Structures are given as C-alpha cells and as structure tokens.
Amino acid sequence: MGFTPDTPAQIASRLAAAGEAEFAAIPPDGVDASSANAPLAVLYRAPAQALYLAGLALAAEVQDFWLDTCDVTLVPEQAARLGLSQAPAQRAGGFGAPAPGATPGTIIPAEATLGGGLYRVTAATTLDGTGVEAVPLEAVSAGVAGDLAAGTLLALDSPIAGLAAQSLTVDANGLTGGSAQETLEQLRARAITWRRRRPKGGGPGDYIAWTQAVYPNAIVKELPLWGGLGRVGVAVAFVGADGGARVATTTEQSRILDALVAQAPLDAEAITVLAATLTPLDLTIAVTPDTTAVRAAVSNAFALFLRAEPGIGGTVELSRLDEALSSAAGEFANRRTAPATPVVAGETVLLVPGTITFEAWS
C-alpha cells in the first residue's frame, strides 16, 4: 500500500483545530489558534514541520518495503530474499588458430596472453603444425568490449619457440559472449517476473529464468520434449546493441547449457541449447500523413512490436500488429496490405523487421 503524508499546512491546521477544541471552555471566547499570528498558531507550525518529516520517512519506509517501488539501491537486498542475485558481466570467449608450419609438438601454454594483455589462453594446446588447431581464448576483462570479429589477428605478448608466426587468428565464430553486468533495474524486472511465476523444479518457465540469470537480455523459448521424453530444448536469441535481435553465439550457447545442466532436475535426460533462426518479416503499408517522420515512426513501431511479441516460435496476429502500427507518433491512419494473413513462425524462428514498402495513400 502507498502512503502520502499530509503537508505541514494541513498538519498545523489540524493541530490548531484540536487546540481550539481543548481550550474552548476558557472564558470568555476560548483560545484562538487559527489566526496566522496567534501565539498558538505559531507554536503549532513548528511541530507540524517535524511531523511532516516523520511522515516522509514513513512514506519512504513503506515504499522501500516493496520490490516494485523500493529505491534502486535496495533491489539487490530485495532480490536476495527471493534467492536471486545480479547477473555478473561475462567475458568474451572462443578459439584462435596458429599459422600453419609450427613445429609439431609445440605447446601454447595456458595463461599465455595476447593483444597486450587483453586476452589469454584458457587451456594448454599442443600443435601438430597444420594450423587447424583450436586454441581456446578468453578476454581478460568482462564486457562486450572483449568481443572480436572472425579473422582478427592477436599477437602473443611473449614469444613461443616453434611457432611459424607469433600470433593467433580468431576463428570463424569470432570471440563472443561478452556482456555487461545486469543493471539493478533489470534485476528488479527479473525478480518481479520470478515472484509472479515461482520455480516449478524444471517446469514451464524455469529454463527461461535460468537462462536469463546468465544473460538477462536473452530472448528464450522453451521446447519441451525436444527429441523425446525427458529431453528439453531451449532456443535463444539476443537483443543486440542496436536494440534489434541477433543470433546466439556458440560461446553463449555453451555457457547457457552449463547453467541449465547445473540447475535442471535429475529426470532431464538431455538439454539442447539452440540458436534461434532470425527470419525477416516484410511489411507493405500506406500511411497518412505520408511524411518522412511518420514513416520513421511506423518503422520504429514495427521493430518494437516484433521485439515485444510474438517471440520465438510465436504468431503475428494482425490485430495486434495494426494496433502497434497505429501507435506510431504522428500517424493518423494506415492501410496494411502485407502481411495479409497471420504469420506463424517456425518453432525456433524469431521474426525480425524485413523490408518495409510504403505505398501511396489512395
């Protein structure tokens, strides 16, 4: 429940009324506590200020009692009561390959650093000279800044005898999976969702909650009986830095799988983490007024709709789509011609904005 304290003026007015009532029997006319300059009125205004401050403190206590309204600094404490904690930042990881021609038997040791100390080898790797060996790498610091594109050359900080080149090339999957620490507001939202849908020992919703405890910005779909009885599939995509969706990387899938295996019930025979397939959904529409600003607003509304619903494997209901498009700033009316029927995404498909064609209003 909420609590809003009365203002100092309201409190002083009540104190004055009570004072006049108490002294009403004093002849000839009682005591004046209401007039602005009356002695009692002045005296009552001072405790009114103190009572007002006490009311503010009580209102803050009431607000901080609830997870939904508490000060953001209290969110970790509130979440801890539910057994939840702030998801930590994750390091980018992946593999690098040496140049062909290394002396067979050469060992790249664990903890060898690359790129000026920004990356390290996580497990010792013995080379056979072919250049196709996979050397496991990890960013030293957590965060998205550690992600690297495929083909990036990382120089070894200390020379290793027997190598054809003192560097490793990031493989085709890139170094991925770096993420920032979950914000306190993200933790609040996750805790509220958890509270509304309590864990069920591996029942519906649990695999979503367990995945988002590792990567809070993951878009998740549970796939019960994926491959048979006792088997579970989890399809995952991510909200990218630009706000759009992106494919889950192999590093992210591996980390999610480790977290799910650690918490899944004993009767979960097998868990599979899949990268959701991103499939563009085209839109053909006429709008009025047909201006650059309105077109941009409609495009943004379309993207926001597909980010919010239908999710992986969901269905785009046309009435819901039209409602979202009509919310675009400046749009007065629209006529959508495509899609013409509800769009049902495949079981592991996440629909994303495709080509938007704006037709002339007629």
Asked if 84 contacts 182 with a C-beta cutoff of 8 angstroms, the reply is no
Closest to 224 measured CA to CA, from 277, 278, 264, 279: 264
Measured from the Cβ of residue 307, the count of other Cβ atoms closer than 10 Å reads: 16
Among residues 162, 157, 158, 161, the alpha carbon closest in space to that of 129 is found at 162
Residue-level pLDDT, tens digit, the chain, 362 residues: 566 788 888 888 888 787 777 777 666 666 776 777 777 777 778 788 888 888 888 887 888 888 988 999 999 999 999 989 999 999 999 999 999 999 999 999 999 999 999 999 999 999 998 888 899 999 999 999 999 999 999 999 999 999 999 999 999 989 999 999 999 999 999 999 888 887 778 888 999 999 999 999 899 999 998 988 889 999 999 987 677 889 999 999 999 999 999 998 877 889 999 999 999 999 999 999 999 999 999 999 999 999 888 999 999 999 999 999 999 999 999 999 999 999 999 999 999 999 999 999 98
pTM above 0.85, yes or no: no
If we measure between CA atoms, which residue out of 315, 247, 241 comes closest to residue 278? Answer: 247
